[in-house]
């Protein structure tokens, strides 16, 4: 199972439960100030449910201490029954849910305690709610209510679910509306949550991590930087369903804070990246559905670093827009770049700039080099690692570039996932709205519409 956003069947969704509760956590007297509070938001009301239980058991191999709080919210499900159209046919698709650990289906919050069994035996601090984990308000409430009850010098939030890059994260398959947290709403949720945290280091959530596919995108980094997040860790590529080795990096963190040592977000981010890639070395990796994995950590603070990179990107695009003849070269650069997600189509930002430099000469090539130099000068990429030859040109941040892909149904041409399918989500983000990237994509499509099959290539 891959932790990417799979095909969505739309659909009449017939389910027994409606998730209408708004997340609340009883606000007791704040606990002793810890060094770190780790909050894991597990939107597991979908086909990843069994992996959520496994990951909580990994957390229990370490457990909380006086200096480390590990708080996990898990929203489980009871399977699905979908009735959907396939052309002129009406089909049904059902799934039995995972029934382990007493098969409870409500939303629960645990303070993770050390335990070596396969059952969840941590401290239950909330139960009985049935939330929609695809509602950003529930993520917001979980963050600020947990942070105010389990105060710490530093906060790490992990969002766990299917990921779709600019499409969003945290799909709740128990909802008729295919609810999820959009990339735009994700930033708003963090901003609102941080404003309600009493004890804030630098006014930020120190780290946000995505145990999900496709989330380490430049646009998302730019968005979170403007919404009070300091560091981001995630994957450019799809993630194996098995996800992260929670026991490894949490043991690293607990050992050090319990010994009285300071752990910076930079050091922890590097450890998470190393442990993730190491966990997929060897024979086991081949059993989880692929031969590739990526993980990287990105510094988001201060926001001015994104302003400076965006300015360099706009200078490059300004030159490309001057001549329609540039767009076939741009097309070739994108086709030859490190890519992710067949449908929406993302490319590695640095590799894309390198391929633009290869296709062009003169000032445009220089401006592409300037973008890469600005990223490096601002030390955006804290750590980056890969597993597998198919992702070896991954440099830490992907970006949306919907490749123009012409295909035929009989003699009728059509485009695979064209820009207009995702333009609203892209331009809702600060980068999509406030840079020339959208102008470049729009003109790219207009120009390639006039080109022959031989010029653009037909899928």
Residue 302: cis peptide before it, omega within 30 degrees of 0: yes
**Portions of the chain given CATH number 3.40.50.11970:** 11-16+32-301
What pLDDT score was predicted for residue 96? Answer: 61
Is residue 83 predicted with pLDDT exceeding 90? no
- Taking only the tens place, the pLDDT of each residue in 147-175 is 999 999 999 999 999 999 999 999 987 75
**CA-based torsion, 130, 38, 163, 439: positive or negative:** positive
Alpha-carbon gap, residue 370 to 319, rounded angstroms:
13
Is residue 8 predicted with pLDDT exceeding 50? no
Is residue 14 predicted with pLDDT exceeding 60? no
Fold annotation for 11-16+32-301:
Rossmann fold (3.40.50)
**Tokens at 209, concatenated:** 């991590």
The better pLDDT of the pair 459, 35 is held by 35
Question: Is the CB of residue 185 less than 8 Å from the CB of residue 168?
Answer: yes
Question: Is the CB of residue 385 less than 8 Å from the CB of residue 271?
Answer: no
Alpha-carbon gap, residue 71 to 59, rounded angstroms:
10
Identify the weakest region by mean pLDDT among 88-102, 360-374, 437-451. 88-102
- Taking only the tens place, the pLDDT of each residue in 343-357 is 899 999 999 999 999
- Taking only the tens place, the pLDDT of each residue in 400-436 is 999 999 999 999 999 999 999 999 999 999 999 999 9
Please tell me the pTM assigned to this model: 0.92
Residue 444 Cα distances to 302, 341, 447, angstroms = 32, 20, 5
> Per-residue confidence at 438, pLDDT binned at 50, 70, 90?
very high
């Amino acid at each position: 199972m891959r932790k990417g956003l799979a095909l969505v069947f739309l659909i009449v969704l017939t389910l027994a439960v409606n998730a209408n509760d708004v997340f609340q956590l009883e606000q007791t007297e704040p606990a002793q100030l810890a060094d770190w509070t780790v909050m894991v938001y597990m939107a597991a009301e979908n086909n990843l449910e069994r992996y959520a239980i496994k990951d909580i058991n990994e957390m229990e191999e370490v457990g909380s201490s006086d200096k480390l709080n590990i708080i996990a919210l898990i929203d489980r499900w009871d399977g699905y029954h979908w009735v959907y159209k396939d052309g002129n046919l009406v089909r049904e698709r059902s799934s039995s849910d995972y029934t382990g650990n007493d098969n409870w289906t409500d939303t629960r919050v645990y303070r993770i305690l050390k335990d070596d069994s396969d059952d969840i035996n941590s401290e239950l601090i909330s139960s009985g709610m049935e939330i929609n984990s695809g509602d950003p308000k529930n993520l917001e409430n979980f963050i600020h209510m947990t942070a105010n009850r389990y105060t710490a010098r530093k906060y790490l939030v992990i969002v766990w679910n299917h990921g779709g890059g600019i499409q969003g994260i945290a799909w709740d398959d128990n909802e008729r509306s295919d609810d999820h947290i959009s990339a735009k709403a994700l930033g708003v949720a963090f901003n609102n949550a941080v404003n309600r945290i009493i004890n804030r280091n630098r006014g930020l959530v120190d780290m946000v991590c995505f145990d999900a596919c496709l989330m380490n995108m430049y646009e998302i980094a730019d968005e979170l930087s403007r919404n009070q997040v300091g560091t981001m860790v995630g994957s450019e590529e799809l993630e194996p369903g098995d996800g992260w080795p929670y026991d490894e990096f949490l043991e690293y963190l607990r050992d050090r804070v319990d010994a009285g040592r300071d752990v910076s977000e930079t050091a922890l981010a590097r450890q998470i990246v190393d442990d993730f890639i190491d966990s997929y070395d060897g024979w086991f990796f081949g059993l989880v559905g692929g031969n590739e994995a990526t993980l990287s950590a990105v510094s988001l603070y201060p926001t001015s670093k994104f302003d400076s990179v965006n300015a360099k990107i706009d200078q490059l695009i300004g030159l490309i827009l001057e001549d329609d003849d540039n767009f076939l070269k741009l097309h070739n650069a994108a086709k030859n770049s490190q890519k992710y997600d067949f449908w929406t189509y993302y490319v590695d930002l640095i590799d894309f700039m390198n391929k633009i430099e290869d296709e062009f000469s003169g000032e445009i090539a220089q401006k592409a080099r300037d973008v890469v130099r600005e990223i490096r000068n601002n030390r955006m990429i804290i750590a980056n690692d890969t597993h597998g030859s198919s992702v070896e040109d991954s440099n830490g941040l992907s970006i949306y570039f919907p490749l123009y892909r012409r295909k035929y149904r009989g003699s009728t041409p059509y485009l695979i996932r064209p820009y207009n399918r995702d333009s609203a989500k892209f331009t809702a983000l600060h980068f999509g709205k406030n840079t020339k990237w959208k102008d470049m994509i729009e003109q790219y499509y207009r120009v390639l519409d006039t080109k022959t099959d031989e010029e653009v290539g037909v899928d």
